[in-house]
Structure 1
Amino acid sequence: MRNALDHAALDAALDHVHRAGMPGLFAEVRAGDRVWRGAAGVADVATGRPVTADMRHRVGSVTKTFTAVAVLRLVESGRVDLDAPIGRHLPELVPGERGEAITVRMLLDHTSGLAEYLPYAYPSLKAFPVLAETGPESLDDLRHTRFDPVELIGMGVAAPPVGVPGGGPGVYSNTNYLLLGRLLERLTGTTAERYITRHVIEPAGLRDTAFPDGPHVEGPHARLYEAWFGMIDPPRDYSVYDMSWVGPSASLISTVADLNRFYRLLLAGEIVAPESLERMRRTVPVVSQEGKVIAYGLGLHPMEAPGQEVFWGHGGTVWGGGTLAMARADGERQMAVAVNLQRWNRLDDSGRPQPHPIDEALAKLYHLAMYG
């Protein structure tokens, strides 16, 4: 059956990820009006407290879809043009010829050529993405640092360009979405976080989704364990962290149920107009932070298996936490999965992440959740 849910198989797949080495994970899968929720493992390795499917979680770059939706709502109201130069709105942040060449659309789909600011904000990551030459020291040093988004944007703009504006493939960069956050602020007179909350989160009825107002995750949540490719052993808890280092690019807190509701409404055309949704799903090739070329739209990217239907959504990571939320194009089947360990792959002699049993177990869970 097209929308059948095998609860026993999903329970087993979730448990397999835990047994492969994931401390804890939880998920929700929806198929039509049928819902499965599950959890496996622990939220706290010290106490053995179990994870539950209703926990709140830092969802990382899933935030980008919310920010993109907010920008598109302004496009629909005529307050900004997707092909307008960003220098027209933020000349002090992207000055001169680059400001005239880079458009709002290029920020949304990562074809601006602007570099990632992360290696410049975190000194021990200065060699990123050459992983073997990085280290985790900055993760501790900057745990309670309050970053200024303008300074972070400045780092990305001042760094050597990673491409020509509008050229391909694009390169995934959080600098793009911090700029979109400043654009929202400039156009609306309020912070990006407040605007997204009032015009995206609240109208969608997402009761457990919010931007953090401090370093803590409010409500029931799991601790988040970062391994940094085996350089932190045992993995360290980073669940208490000032998220100003990513802001409207990746700081959102949500639940798997809320994420499924959000993407279901989005793909049903209930959050943005059909023409906006069509623009969001028009993809270009983009080099991900893992060095892979992926298809990327405006805050959305597709996933599909050979011969199978396309799913749309976004993934995200923060220090210690990861999330993937995907919905079938018709919105009738959905998956949201949250994990509380990141960068579990150790590096080989050439500095490349080695395969880990967690990778295969997660891939099997995703495939079962999306295709049955």
Structure 2
Amino acid sequence: MPLDPAKLQTALDTLHRAGLPGVFAEVRDGDQSWCGAAGVADVAIGRPVTADMRHRVGSITKAFTAAAVLHQVDNGEIDLDTSLDYYLPNVVPGERGSAITIRMLINHTSGLAEYLPYAYPSFAALPDVAKTTPDSLEDNRFTRFDPLELIALGVRAPATGAPGNTPGVYSNTNYLLLCRLLESVTGASAEQCITRDVIERAGLRDTGLPAGPYIIGPHSLHYETWFGMIDPPRDFSVFDMSWVGPAASLVSTVADLNRFFGLLLAGEIVSHAALTQMQRTVPVISFEGKRIEYGLGLHRTEIPGLGVCWGHDGSVWGGGAISLTSADGRRQVSVALNLQRWNTLDPNGRPQPHPIDHALQAFTRLALLG
């Protein structure tokens, strides 16, 4: 079905009315494109969101980092099935370092745990959200974390499984290790590798990895509610992103996200052989406890009536985004949200359904199917 601007705008308006302060998106169908926005970038003054705003896109960054690693695979500098210990001796001590391969890091089957509950004291009880508090967010707004110390926290934590076992468990520790890998084989920083080999290669003019706590350029505030524990939601658009680095700190626009995934899936960022590796999926348990099909930095999603879509989603404090591209590359949607963890918890500590969930699913389905 061709794009219907009126219906798409109505669906965005519905998302805003469901409880999002602001939402903006770009939808592509072949050579056609539509962009729209609904709601506000700043609830205090009513400044509207616009579709060209820059936004933190969270773990969508992982697709960029994975592509940078696959670029080095194309160059013959990295082999996906060689052990981590070969490239980074003793970073993961003992037999585990020899058993974990680069592929296992990228597809989250390494068994290495997420470091965040150990870096943020008020999140120590994760994944039991009801026993957490959001205190660590404010406490660490300007904290500068050392990535090697974060990696050490993940390495020392109890393993989530044996290397290579499925389902894997999603972990930022894996991607901080991939950043060290890029630095080891290239002599440049991970940020430089991702910028040179992915962002600039794709011609993305409004995308970059931040050097400080501020988002440069026009942007929305990022409102975090932490499952209703922050009321009213608090802005965390000023935040030092060293807690996650090139695993989830990217700032981009919805147009740049569509351009990136379109080029990636056309074999223009990495080779077609490397793309084939990226699209080999395994079952992985996400941060939310859901089972997803995860490749090398890519999610595989089945959309009834359309078929397979590839992409990624992401969340940081107050900011979120979703980007999906149909397998044939024709239909794309990227959407940015300026509120996160809007679901409150039921008496058993489980997130309750929220109207935003339904409205977001409805918008995404309309964008991809018409």
SS in 1 for 2:365: helix
Cα offset, 1:89, TM superposition: 1.2
1:326 aligns with: 324
What are the equivalent positions in structure 2 for 1:1-372 lying under 5 Å apart?
Answer: 1=1, 4-372=2-370
Cα offset, 1:302, TM superposition: 1.4
SS in 2 for 1:74: helix
Q: Take 1:294 and 1:27, find their aligned partners in 2: how far apart are those partners?
A: 24
| Post-superposition CA distance 1:194-213 (Å, at most 9, x none) | 11101110111000000001
Q: Take 2:259 and 2:122, find their aligned partners in 1: how far apart are those partners?
A: 38
CA contact (8 A) 1:87 1:96 kept: no
Cα offset, 1:331, TM superposition: 1.1
SS in 2 for 1:63: helix
Cα offset, 1:68, TM superposition: 0.3
Q: Take 2:330 and 2:258, find their aligned partners in 1: how far apart are those partners?
A: 10
Cα offset, 1:306, TM superposition: 2.9
CA contact (8 A) 2:90 2:97 kept: no
SS in 2 for 1:14: helix
| Post-superposition CA distance 1:23-73 (Å, at most 9, x none) | 001000000111100000000000000000000000100000000001011
Cα offset, 1:308, TM superposition: 2.6
SS in 2 for 1:323: strand
Q: Take 2:263 and 2:14, find their aligned partners in 1: how far apart are those partners?
A: 31
Aligned residues: 370
For 1:181, the aligned partner's letter is C
Q: Take 1:58 and 1:307, find their aligned partners in 2: how far apart are those partners?
A: 31
RMSD of Structure 2 on Structure 1 (CA): 0.7
Cα offset, 1:305, TM superposition: 2.3
Q: Take 2:91 and 2:229, find their aligned partners in 1: how far apart are those partners?
A: 36
CA contact (8 A) 1:20 1:361 kept: yes
Q: Take 1:313 and 1:9, find their aligned partners in 2: how far apart are those partners?
A: 23
Further displaced range: 46-55 or 188-197: 188-197
Taking only the aligned residue pairs, the percentage that are identical comes to: 68
CA contact (8 A) 2:20 2:339 kept: yes
Q: Take 1:181 and 1:275, find their aligned partners in 2: how far apart are those partners?
A: 22
For 2:156, the aligned partner's letter is A
The TM-score with structure 2 as length reference comes to 0.99
For 1:259, the aligned partner's letter is L
Q: Which runs of 5+ in 2 are unaligned?
A: none
For 1:110, the aligned partner's letter is H
SS in 1 for 2:350: coil
CA contact (8 A) 1:115 1:173 kept: yes
Cα offset, 1:307, TM superposition: 4.2
